[in-house]
Amino acid sequence: MTAKKTLKKYFGYDSFRDGQKELIDGIMAERDVLGIMPTGAGKSICFQIPALMMDGVVIVVSPLISLMKDQVHALNQAGIGAAFINSSLSDRQIYKALQNAANGLYKLVYVAPERLMTNGFLYFATKTKIPMVVVDEAHCISQWGNDFRPSYAEIPAFVAQLAHRPIVSAFTATATPRVRDDIIEKLALNKPMVTISGFDRPNLHFSIIKIGNKTSALLNFLEQRPKDAVGIVYCSTRKAVDEVRFVLFNEGYEVGRYHAGMGDDERRQSQEDFIYDRIKIMVATNAFGMGIDKSNVSFVVHYNMPKDIESYYQEAGRAGRDGTPANCLLLYTGKDSSTIRYFIEETDAMSTLDFVTRQEIKRQNFRRLEEIEGLCLTKDCLRGYILRYFGENPPENCGNCANCGAEFDEADITIEAQKIISCVARMRERFGIKMVVEVLMGVSNQKIRNFGLTELSTFGISQLSAIKLTEIVNHLISKGYLRKSDEQFSLLKLGKNYKGALQKDAKITMKTKSEIETTHHTPASYYAQAKRETVNKDVFDALKALRLQIATENRLPAFVVFSDATLVDMCKKMPQNMEQMLTVSGVGQVKAERYGKAFLEVILRFDGHTNK
- Kindly list the strands in the beta sheet with 231-234, ordered across the sheet, starting from the edge strand earlier in the chain: 204-210, 326-332, 299-302, 231-234, 281-284, 255-258
With contacts defined by CB under 6 A, name the span among 43-51, 88-96, 154-162, 439-447 that binds ligand ADP.
43-51
Which of 310, 315, 322, 373 is in the footprint of ligand ADP by CB under 6 A? 322
Comparison of 16 and 526: residue with beta carbon closer to ligand ADP? 16
Judged by CB under 6 A, the residue of 13, 152, 158, 431 near ligand ADP is 13
Q: Which residue, 271 or 295, is less far from ligand ADP as judged by CB? A: 295
In the range 325-364, which residues lie near ligand ADP by CB under 6 A? none
When CB distances to ligand ADP are compared, the closest residue is: 42
Q: Roughly what angle, to the nearest 10 degrees, separates helices 214-223 and 238-250?
A: 50
| Number of residues located near ligand ADP, criterion CB under 6 A | 17
CB atoms within 10 A of CB 63: 20
For ligand ADP, which residue of 3, 6, 8, 16 counts as binding (CB under 6 A)?
16
120 with 39: CB under 8 angstroms? Answer: no
Q: Crossing angle for the helix pair 44-53 and 20-28, nearest 10 degrees?
A: 30
Q: Which amino acid is at 435?
A: M
Three-state helix/strand/coil letters over 343-386: HHHHHHHHCCCCHHHHHHHHHHHHHHHHHHHHHHHCCCCHHHHH
From residue 263 to residue 292, what is the string marking binding to ligand ADP with x (rule CB under 6 A)? ------------------------------
CA distance 582 to 579: 5
Q: At residue 331, what are phi and psi to the nearest 5 degrees?
A: -105, 125
| Nearest-approach distance from CB 387 to Zn ion, in angstroms | 10
Identify what 44 binds: ligand ADP, Zn ion, none; CB under 5 to 8 Å per kind: ligand ADP
Label residues 408-435 b or e (16+ Cβ within 10 Å = b).
eeeeebeebbbbbbbbbebbeeebebeb
The least CB distance from residue 518 to Zn ion, in Å, is 18
495 binds ligand ADP (CB under 6 A): no
Interface characters, 287-316, with ligand ADP (x: CB under 6 A):
------x-x---------------------
Determine the Cα–Cα distance for residues 365 and 358; give it in Å rounded to an integer. Answer: 10
Closest to 48 in 3D by CA, of 39, 38, 40, 58: 58
Question: Cβ of residue 588: shortest distance to ligand ADP, in angstroms?
Answer: 10
Q: Does 569 bind ligand ADP (CB under 6 A)?
A: no
Q: Which does 17 bind (CB under 5 to 8 A by kind): ligand ADP, Zn ion, none?
A: ligand ADP
C-beta of 94 vs 387, nearer to ligand ADP: 387
Considering only 24, 45, 211, 402, the residue that binds ligand ADP (CB under 6 A) is: 45
- Residue 365 binds which one of ligand ADP, Zn ion, none, with CB within 5 to 8 A depending on kind? none
**Which residues on neighbouring strands pair with residue 82, listed in sequence order?**
108
- Tell me which of Zn ion, ligand ADP, none is bound by residue 45, counting a contact when its beta carbon lies within the kind-specific cut-off of 5 to 8 angstroms: ligand ADP
The whole-angstrom separation of Cα 195 and Cα 307 is 26
Three-state secondary-structure class, residue 61? strand
Q: Backbone phi, then psi, for 109, in 5-degree steps?
A: -125, 120
Stated length of the chain? 612
Q: Which does 43 bind (CB under 5 to 8 A by kind): Zn ion, ligand ADP, none?
A: ligand ADP
Q: Is 41 in the site for ligand ADP (CB under 6 A)?
A: yes
**128: contact with ligand ADP by CB under 6 A:** no
**Rounded to 5°, angle at Cα 348 from 344 and 352:** 150
Helix (H, G, I), strand (E, B) or coil at 284: strand
Strands of 89-230, DSSP E: 108-111, 132-135, 167-172, 193-196, 204-210
Among 23, 33, 34, 37, which residue interacts with ligand ADP (rule: CB under 6 A)? Answer: 37
Among 307, 321, 368, 419, binds ligand ADP (CB under 6 A): 321
Q: In a 3-state reduction of DSSP, which class is residue 42?
A: coil
* Angular region, 428: left φ>0, alpha ψ -120 to 50, beta rest: left
CB of residue 293 to ligand ADP, shortest distance in Å = 4
For position 390 contacting ligand ADP by CB under 6 A, the verdict is no
Residue type, 547: R
User: Which one of ligand ADP, Zn ion, none is in contact with 322 (Cβ closer than 5 to 8 A by kind)?
Assistant: ligand ADP
Rounded to a whole number of angstroms, the minimum distance from the CB of residue 138 to ligand ADP is 12
| Residue window 134-173: x/- pattern of binding to ligand ADP, with contact defined by CB under 6 A | ----------------------------------------
User: Which of 39, 62, 142, 220 contacts ligand ADP by CB under 6 A?
Assistant: 39
- Is 174 near ligand ADP (CB under 6 A)? no
Specify the DSSP class assigned to residue 610: B
CB of residue 37 vs ligand ADP: minimum separation in angstroms?
5
| CA-based nearest residue to 386, from 112, 260, 198, 233 | 198
Q: Which residues bind Zn ion (CB under 5 A)?
A: 381, 383, 398, 401, 404
Residue 75 or 381 having the CB closest to ligand ADP: 75
Residues in contact with ligand ADP by the rule CB under 6 A: 13, 16-17, 20, 37, 39-45, 293, 295, 321-322, 563
